Amino acid sequence: MSTRIQTVFAKGRPAFVAYIMGGDPDALTSQRIMNALPGAGVDIIELGFPFTDPMADGPVIEEAGIRSRKAGTTLASILDMARTFRRDDDTTPIIVMGYANPVYQMGYAAFSERAAEAGIDGAIIVDLPPEEDGPLRAEMDARGLSLIRLATPTTDAERLPKVVSGSSGFVYYVSMTGVTGAALAQGGSVAEQVTRVRDAAHLPVVVGFGVKTTERASQIAKEADGVVVGTAIVKALHEDGEEAALDLVRALADATHTAR
């Protein structure tokens, strides 16, 4: 039986993946946005959970995490968001994304069990390298959850097999060296890297960490299996409100889906 993630990539078109920071600016608004994402064209939801030391986050996501924590968001309440979402949507994959410390504090077994029960499909833990994610991956594997690894422009040919060997669902290609929302690498180099990672992993490859416009989403979607946008959506929600954020999501999703 196919997983939710596999079903998305079996559609034969580039997948649009939208990141939001759970609990930003508050629980009710964040839940409304999450619930509306599939109707706006989102294929996979990346649901961020806040952390005090977000080393890979640019200022927009970092500030969203601060707002979320001030609103009282915890990893447990992020899982509750997924549980609420699943009351009406049992098909859209949900990937939680964040840092290892909150997961470690909850306990790897408890996190994996509670995530599976809430309807989570996988996790991206940005600061947990392959050498250290074995205990978490074992707990997630036992419950049918995907631990999604990150490959970067600096992941060389010697390290790439180790990075992709433990990934499942898809591989997230970080398209630049830097924090979220920074400048994206040139299109040609991204295309070459996507091919390299895909050949090594035998998994779909999605590209994120710098896609901000419909034009760039379309360009990347011509080569990759999926496109991730986070910073632009989080910024639109904060500066312009829910409808503006969802309008942007619709435009990005359409540009991704029609790229090829």
Residues marked as catalytic? 46, 57
Peptide bond before residue 14 is cis, with ω within 30 degrees of 0? no
Q: Could you tell me the two tokens for 58?
A: 């640019």
**What is the DSSP track for 48-91?**
E---S--TT--HHHHHHHHHHHHTT--HHHHHHHHHHHTTT-SS
Could you give the 3-state DSSP secondary structure of residue 187?
helix
CB hemisphere CA count around 223 (13 angstroms)? 21
Select from 159, 103, 98, 102 the least CA-distant residue to 126: 98
Distance CA 112, CA 221 (A): 31
